[in-house]
Amino acid sequence: MPLARRALLTALAAGPAGAAVACAPTGGTTADGAPGGEPGGADAATAAARRLLPRHWSQITFRTEGERDTFRVSGRTGRITVSGDTPATRLTGLNWYLRHVAYADINWAGEQTGSLPRDLPGLDGTVTRRAGVPHRFALNDTNDGYTGAYLDWAYWERELDVLALHGYNEILVYAGADALYHRLFQEFGYEDEELRAWIPGPAHQPWWLLQNLSGFPHPVSRQLLDARAALGRRIVDRVRELGMTPVLPGYFGTVPPGFAERNQGARTIPQGRWMGLARPDWLDPRTDEFARVADAFYRVQGEMFGPSTLYKMDLLHEGGDPGDVPVGEAAKGVERALHKARPGAVWVILGWQRNPPRAIVDAVDKRYMLVVDGLSDRFPTVTDREADWGDTPYAFGSIWNFGGHTALGANTPDWAELYEKWRTKDGSRLRGIALMPEAADNNPAAFALFSELAWREGELDLKKWFSEWAHARYGARDPHAEAAWDVLRRTAYGTTRADRWSEAADGLFGARPSLKAVRAASWSPKQLRYDPAEFESALVELLRVRPELRKSSAYRLDLLDVARQALSNRSRVLLPDIRKAYDTKDAARLDRLADTWLSLMDLLDRLLATDSRHLLGRWVADARSWGATAEEREQLAYDNLSLLTVWGTRAGADAGLRDYANREWAGLVGGLYRLRWSTYFTELKAALREGREPKETDWFALEDRWTRDPGPLPTRPTGDTYELATLVRDRLAAIS
Identify the pLDDT of residue 319.
84
Identify the pLDDT of residue 199.
98
Distance CA 415, CA 191 (A): 50
Angle at 396 between CA 167 and CA 374, to 5 degrees: 115
Average pLDDT (292-301) is: 98
Distance CA 679, CA 686 (A): 11
**What's the pLDDT tens digit per position in 400-412?**
999 999 999 999 9
Assess whether pLDDT exceeds 70 at residue 324: yes
Quick one: CATH architecture of 29-130?
A: 2-Layer Sandwich (3.30)
Q: How many CB atoms lie within 10 A of CB 446?
A: 23
318 pLDDT band, cuts 50/70/90, is confident
Counting Cα atoms < 13 Å in the Cβ hemisphere of 571 gives 35
The residue type at 715: T
Distance CA 370, CA 346 (A): 7
Phi then psi for residue 248, to 5 deg, are: -100, 155
* Topology classification of domain 549-735: Four Helix Bundle (Hemerythrin (Met), subunit A) (1.20.120)
Average pLDDT (478-487) is: 98
Contacts of 579 (CB under 8 A, 6+ apart): 515, 516
* C-alpha 125 chain-centroid distance: 38
Contacts of 19 (CB under 8 A, 6+ apart): none
Task: Give CA separation, 708 vs 521, 614, 641, 646, 679, in Å.
Answer: 21, 20, 8, 11, 19
Peptide bond into 217 cis (omega under 30): yes
Q: For 576-642, give the DSSP string.
A: HHHHHHHHTT-HHHHHHHHHHHHHHHHHHHHHHTTSGGGBHHHHHHHHHTT-SSHHHHHHHHHHHHH
Angle at 398 between CA 393 and CA 404, to 5 degrees: 135
Weakest mean pLDDT among 31-45, 361-375, 462-476: 31-45
Task: Give CA separation, 427 vs 35, 253, 422, 431, 458, in Å.
Answer: 21, 34, 10, 12, 18
- Mean pLDDT (the chain, rounded): 94
Average pLDDT (601-615) is: 98
Q: For 259-274, give the DSSP string.
A: HHHHSTT--EE---EE
Identify the pLDDT of residue 28.
54
Phi then psi for residue 291, to 5 deg, are: -60, -35
Among candidate residues 608, 578, 732, the one with its CA nearest the CA of residue 670: 608
Assess whether pLDDT exceeds 90 at residue 31: no
The residue type at 439: A
**Residue intervals in the chain for CATH 3.20.20.80:** 135-456
Identify the pLDDT of residue 2.
46
CATH superfamily of 135-456: Glycosidases (3.20.20.80)
3-class DSSP state of 83:
strand
**What's the pLDDT tens digit per position in 665-674?**
999 999 999 9
Average pLDDT (433-454) is: 98
Identify the pLDDT of residue 178.
98
Phi then psi for residue 63, to 5 deg, are: -125, 140
Peptide bond into 356 cis (omega under 30): yes
Among candidate residues 307, 482, 497, 315, the one with its CA nearest the CA of residue 397: 497
**What's the pLDDT tens digit per position in 547-586?**
999 999 999 999 999 999 999 999 999 999 999 999 999 9
Express as a percent the part of the chain with pLDDT over 90: 93
Distance CA 31, CA 312 (A): 13
**Residue intervals in the chain for CATH 1.20.120.670:** 549-735
The residue type at 186: Q
Identify the pLDDT of residue 423.
97
**Residue intervals in the chain for CATH 3.30.379.10:** 29-130
